[in-house]
Amino acid sequence: MTDVPAKPPEECETMIEVRVGVDATDRELMDLLDRRFGYMRAAARIKQERGAVRDEDRKAYVIAAAVKDAETRGLPADVIADLWERLVEGSIRYEFTEWDRIRD
């Protein structure tokens, strides 16, 4: 890690600048994932039935929304679909773990 501020991608002229930006973005992603998993903890606390943790309709909606957003942004939709599939499945597993932990 470095103390050099990250430049926007279109302003990068060296690989060092690119890597600084990627590292800064990764830290931001971790902050967002921390918040997202916080919502999974909240869901585990709120849902009264363990069976309510897995909601295939909601999963399909979330992944489809991410793919649509990716297409709008010109991002590779297949990569985003794969990432979101893994993110949502990981979130469901985490929520099950939290649901069980809270109720033990």
* pLDDT tens string 65-87: 999 999 999 999 999 999 999 99
| Cα-based torsion angle of the residue sequence 63, 60, 44, 52 in order, rounded to the nearest 10 degrees | 180
**Is 36 known as a binding-site position?**
yes
By C-alpha distance, which of 59, 81, 87 is closest to 68? 81
71 is an annotated ligand-binding site residue: no
Would the annotation count 54 as a binding residue?
A: no
Secondary structure (3-state) at 4? coil
Q: Mean pLDDT in the chain?
A: 96
Angle at 29 between CA 23 and CA 35, to 5 degrees: 145
* Mean pLDDT on 74-102: 98
Domains of the chain: 9-103 (1.20.59.10)
pTM exceeding 0.85: yes
Taking 60 as the threshold, does the pLDDT of residue 2 lie above it? no
Q: What is the pLDDT of residue 4?
A: 75
Where does residue 44 rank: exposed (0-12), middle (13-18), buried (19+ CB within 10 A)? buried
Residue-wise pLDDT for 18-63, tens only, equals: 999 999 999 999 999 999 999 999 999 999 999 999 999 999 999 9
pLDDT of residue 81: 98
